[in-house]
Amino acid sequence: MLSADRLEWIEGWGEVLGGAGYVFRPSILEGIRVALREAGAGGVSVALRGTGCSYGDAALRAENIILDLSRMDRILSWDGETGIIDVEPGVTLRRLWRFVLGDGWWPPVVTGTMETSVGGCLGMNVHGKNNWARGTFGEHCLEFDLMTADGELRTVSRNDDPETFNAVIGSFGLLGVITRARLQMKKITSGLVEAKAVSAGDLETLLRLTDEAKDQWEYVVGWIDAFPRGRKLGRGLLHFARHLEPGEDAEPAQTLRAEAQDLPEDVFMMPKSAIWRLIKPFTNRLGMKWINRLKYLSGATLGEGAIYRQTFAEFSFLLDYVPNWKRIYRPGGLIQHQSFVPVDQAEAVFRRQLEACQKARLPSFLGVVKRHRPDDFLMGHGLDGFSLALDFPVIAGREGRLWQLVRTMAEDVVGAGGGF
Amino acid sequence: MKKTWQTAVVVGASSGIGAALVKRLVAQGCRVAAVARRHDELESLAVWARKAGGGGEVFPYVADVREAQSVLELFETITGDLGGLDLMIYAAGVMLPVQFEEYDTAKDLEMLQTNLSGAVAWLNPAAQRFARLKRGTIVGIGSVAGDRGRSGSPVYNTSKAGLHTYLEALRNRVARYGVKVVTIKPGFVDTAMTKDLPGLFWLISADRAAEIILAKARKGAVTAYVPARWGLVMLIIRSIPSFIFRRLKV
């Protein structure tokens, strides 16, 4: 019997799903072995957890062991010449980029928040806004140490054992615990990107512009206003960005300082920690309809075609601008439905998704489009197509409708040859 | 997020209020561990749940609440099987017939074991778990009989009074963690326990009692008489001075 002392309430990032788990937080390899041994003895399974940034239940397993690796957060080695770094799985992307930036390097793939962990990024094989150009996070991993359920430790490298390598990355930790990862960073000559914003009046235009931009810009991301119907359905704003070439940044030593990348402390002259409280009263259908509308209209007029420079952090980590923004969805929390659909089916499927949301009177409060490419991973989401991520609030009394909507959308995606 | 109960344990689930509670919870889509001594009744409940649909499920566990030493392990097994625990209900109770001048210690101890010691054995681990997780609801089925010591059933009264006090103390322990402890005091409910008892009035069905109990628990009531009018009756009865009460044939 597992010790009840270890019981903790653990939630997914979206605060919709939670459960009690027996939490182990090792700081050394032997601690992981202890957890695996206890799981075997107790006949329970083990769920791996990093910083808990997965929206749903990926890092949850109620009444079983939760192996929280956030304390294994050491940088083991760093070569500033080659950009190769060895880290433990609990190292966050925040720690990673702040560490390598000063030597002129940057993680080639980052999530929309810098709070994710390297272990989590490998377990979920995450992508960034540059999925077409750079692939997934796992494509920049050279090798890792894997502890299997029997406590044995083995090194798996991309070159020597590609089959195991491609099976483990993106497998949610089902095949073992990654205890060390060797990653290749990307060389940069400036801490800035050049970005461009354009608007798209409908879904077809938005997907077409996304597709056209994918070979010209490293980073391509589209935001969708999920509220309008008819001709304006799927309208949105696109943001493209590229790294600066050598010589374009007059003061690279300045912009490559970690401090120069810090996100602004204030947003609209308010401390950013208070912003979510300001937004919360508008977190309903009417409020979000207007916020989305104003965002689109301002982007399509004032911001149309604007070319500007931003720090990497400002462009990459949009989800970190407003700390604790998920609290606007309390008490019900939020879910995200992100589907990946082949190029030729994407417009039709996404159109049906947006229409289904509207018909169910459950419009998504935030929609994001990205372009993707296939990869070699066994359990990947990679395909030659687009993804649409839709955020939904979970509201008491409407859960049944929401689950039905999500089920309908998921079946449509699978029917179109897509995935998740 | 605040949700409806997804998982529950009902101890004393084979008949009466306990069985009615199981059925109502299952109908609401809850996974319910039904704990009782009688295997056949539990199986019937499980079969009923499978036919009833509604998304809920009954997990039957045969156990005798008088065997306190085996509770902890079974409790852990149940939470594992259910995949969690949101609601813990102790509904086990016996009222053995006692003659006016009967002093049968074995009978009396059996009532104490089932009505009080069993509750302590089952609700202690639940309270500890809920306090640790800072969530959860505990419901104890007491009785209006616990409000006064009546000459006709001294130990049944004592067991229920003890249960009320234990629940109050438990509440005072865990309220700071957001855990609800609800004391239920039913009046006359149409169950095997009240069958053939003379002088019953305001008799309600076990299903109606279960409906009220769950509504009160959902609201996080502290103490609830079932139905509510018993609250007024018991206020009056509690106000009767002892020198008068001892002369009453109740």
Domain containing residue B113: CATH number: 3.40.50.720
pLDDT in tens, A162-203: 999 999 999 999 999 999 999 999 999 999 999 999 999 999
- The verdict on A86 and A234 lying in the same domain is no
pLDDT in tens, A279-330: 999 999 999 999 999 999 999 998 899 999 999 999 999 999 888 999 999 9
- The verdict on A405 and A291 lying in the same domain is yes
Strand partners for A18: A11
A420 assigned to some structural domain: no
Residue of A nearest to B126 (CA): A4
- The verdict on A26 and A134 lying in the same domain is no
- The verdict on A145 and A203 lying in the same domain is no
Residue-wise over B156-195: b if at least 16 C-beta within 10 A, else e?
A: bbbbbbbbbebbeebbeebeeeebbbbbbbbbbbbbebbe
Tell me the residue range of the domain where A91 lies. 75-186
Instruction: Please answer yes or no on whether A9 and B84 come within 8 Å at the CB atom.
Output: no
As for the ipTM of the complex, it is 0.82
Closest CA to A382 of A337, A335, A341: A341
Any A CB within 8 A of B54 CB: no
Strand order in the sheet with A177-184: A75-79, A84-87, A177-184, A141-147, A153-157
Q: Which residue, chain included where needed, has tokens 């509220």? A: A227
Final residue of a structural domain among A171, A186, A201: A186
B66 assigned to some structural domain: yes
Strands (E), B43-167: 57-62, 87-90, 137-141
- The verdict on A296 and A410 lying in the same domain is yes
Final residue of a structural domain among A68, A95, A119: A68
Count the domains in chain B. Answer: 1
**B156 counts as catalytic:** yes
Residue of B nearest to A14 (CA): B1
B1 assigned to some structural domain: no
Please tell me whether residue B220 adopts helix, strand or coil conformation: coil
Instruction: Please answer yes or no on whether A20 and B134 come within 8 Å at the CB atom.
Output: no
Residue of A nearest to B80 (CA): A63
Type of residue numbered A116: T
The mean pLDDT value for B126-150 works out to 97
What pLDDT was estimated at residue B2? Answer: 47
Instruction: Find chain B residues with C-beta within 8 A of A38's C-beta.
Output: none
Instruction: Please answer yes or no on whether A394 and B128 come within 8 Å at the CB atom.
Output: no
- The verdict on A380 and A331 lying in the same domain is yes
pLDDT band for position B1 (cuts 50, 70, 90): very low
Average pLDDT, chain A: 96
Type of residue numbered B204: I
Cβ pairs A/B, distance under 8 A: 42
pLDDT above 70 covers a percentage of chain A that reads 100
Determine which of A17-26, A77-86, A317-326 has the lowest per-residue pLDDT on average: A317-326
- The verdict on A96 and A202 lying in the same domain is no
Q: Show Cβ contacts of residue B146 under 8 Å, excluding neighbours closer than 6 positions.
A: B157, B159, B160, B161, B162, B163, B164, B185
The CATH code of the domain that includes A59 is 3.30.43.10
- The verdict on A238 and A380 lying in the same domain is yes
Rounded to the nearest angstrom, the gap between the alpha carbon of residue A15 and the centroid of all alpha carbons in its chain is: 16
Count the domains in chain A. Answer: 3
Any A CB within 8 A of B128 CB: yes
Q: How far apart are the first and last CA of chain B?
A: 48
B2 assigned to some structural domain: no
Shortest alpha-carbon distance between residue B239 and chain A (Å): 43
Average pLDDT, chain B: 94
